[in-house]
Structure 1
Amino acid sequence: MIQNCSQESISQFIFETLRGKFPDVHCELEFHTPFELLIATILSAQCTDERVNLVTASLFAVANTPEAIIALGQQELENKIRSLGLFHNKAKNILAACRVLVEDFEGRVPNDIDLLRRLPGVGRKTANVVVSNAFGIPAIAVDTHVFRLAHRLGIAQGKTPEKVENELMLRFPKDNWSLMHHLLIFHGRRVCFARKPSCGECPLTPVCKTFLSN
């Protein structure tokens, strides 16, 4: 199929097929406020959303504002998130980010990617996740799943997450960016696994560059 299709039609096929396969697609980090999503996303580095949700349920029950997190202090925050990887550095960055939020943003999470990236521990991926899911601003956050699938499918060739993000933004309509991000993550977690993708269960094989080249 791929030989006879334009990039636009392939992109549309991928989007529509995944939307049909995952009609309930959503952000799998649990949150109620932009601040909770910010903290959950920082904690999600090198960790599953399921594990993060267990930790944040306990953490947010006692501290779900920048001021409350600061009041916990480094040691107590580390104790709350100890079961997650890199807990020491994550606690350090979260506390530093909370101080910036209080000092520069009146304790509120900004809805701007560049402003979010001023916060310690917040890179472009985290900023995109926050503006997309907390504020409804179109964005494509490129995590390991999105990066892997973009290359396997052949819809991006960039060597860095930011280059892949730029390629995907050109491939898909802006209104679909945020949904496309979640669709690729769902597919990566449930079908197109990193080590052993389930190609026999994948509806994208007609346009998958990797599958067709094998």
Structure 2
Amino acid sequence: MTKAEKVNDILNILEKHFPDPEIPLHHKDAYTLLISVLLSAQCTDVMVNKTTPKLFKQADNPYDMLKMSVDEIRDIIRPCGLSPMKSKGIHGLSKILVEKYNGEVPNTFEQLEELPAVGHKTASVVLTQWFGLPTFPVDTHIHRLAYRWGLSKGKSVEQTEKDLKRLIPKEKWNKAHLQIIYFGRKFCPARNHNWRECPICSKYMRKELRD
């Protein structure tokens, strides 16, 4: 089996199990998505979705967010962890959006990554899930699965992103990254993973990782 055939088979399996993956973070526009993704760093989507309603009730746009103090933001987002850094980032990026972009979220990597607390992965998620641009966000979970399935030997998420972009057709990037996330949660957890019962791992898991 060629690498292309393997990738195509994996994509077909993902499509079979998750044909219509939804964006896991609740949002209504680019700004609320940006804030939600920022909060999801080292935090579960479930916890983010429990936390953001209270935050967005007070401020669901950068103008209202600036009316809140960093301390007020931190108190609300505390359950998401890293609240000192995240609250400063949320307040700081809101200020830039108001002053530089008329309150709108920009749609380029360069502009997004200049915002406080916004890294490459956060920018990638916003660009693909809101603006529909072809990016392939890679977090530690996708990084782990790509290695497990033999799609990348990357030592970093950056290298894994390059490998997946090279192997997966560009028109499938936006959907595939969500499918991998959902598939990993259901079939490929980091702990207590039974590779024999996983539709992908049972066929393609690296030999050195098997029991």
Bin of the TM-score, shorter chain as denominator length: over 0.9
Flag the 1:207–1:200 CA change in 2: closer, same or farther, 3 A. closer
- Structure 1 residue 158 displacement after superposition: 1.2
Flag the 1:14–1:105 CA change in 2: closer, same or farther, 3 A. same
Choose the corresponding residue for 2:176, options 168, 173, 180. Answer: 180
Provide the C-alpha distance between the structure 1 equivalents of 2:91 and 2:174, rounded to a whole number of angstroms.
28
- Structure 1 residue 208 displacement after superposition: 1.5
Equivalent position amino acid for 1:120 in 2: P
Matches within 5 A, 1:10-89: 10-89=6-85
Equivalent position amino acid for 1:124 in 2: H
Aligned residue for 2:106, secondary structure, equals coil
Aligned residue pairs, count: 210
Q: Percent identity?
A: 37
- Structure 1 residue 198 displacement after superposition: 3.0
Which consecutive aligned stretches of 4+ in structure 1 deviate over 4 angstroms post-superposition?
none
Question: Partner of 1:158 in structure 2?
Answer: 154
Equivalent position amino acid for 2:47 in 1: R
Provide the C-alpha distance between the structure 1 equivalents of 2:45 and 2:197, rounded to a whole number of angstroms.
24
- Structure 1 residue 205 displacement after superposition: 3.1
18-27 or 148-157, which moves further after superposition? 18-27
Equivalent position amino acid for 2:31 in 1: F
Equivalent position amino acid for 2:26 in 1: E
TM-score scaled to structure 2, two decimals?
0.95
1:59-114 per-residue CA deviation (whole Å, 9 max, x = no partner) reads 11120111111111111111111111111110011111111111111110011112
TM-score scaled to structure 1, two decimals?
0.94
Question: Partner of 2:165 in structure 1?
Answer: 169
Query: Contact conserved, 1:116 with 1:127, CA < 8 A, in 2?
Result: yes
Question: Partner of 2:139 in structure 1?
Answer: 143
Aligned residue for 1:25, secondary structure, equals coil
1:145-186 per-residue CA deviation (whole Å, 9 max, x = no partner) reads 100100000101111111110110000000000111011111
> Structure 2: any 5+ residue segments left out of the alignment?
none
- Structure 1 residue 133 displacement after superposition: 0.5
Choose the corresponding residue for 1:115, options 81, 90, 111. Answer: 111
Provide the C-alpha distance between the structure 1 equivalents of 2:180 and 2:127, rounded to a whole number of angstroms.
18
Choose the corresponding residue for 1:127, options 123, 127, 141. Answer: 123
Query: Contact conserved, 1:47 with 1:84, CA < 8 A, in 2?
Result: yes
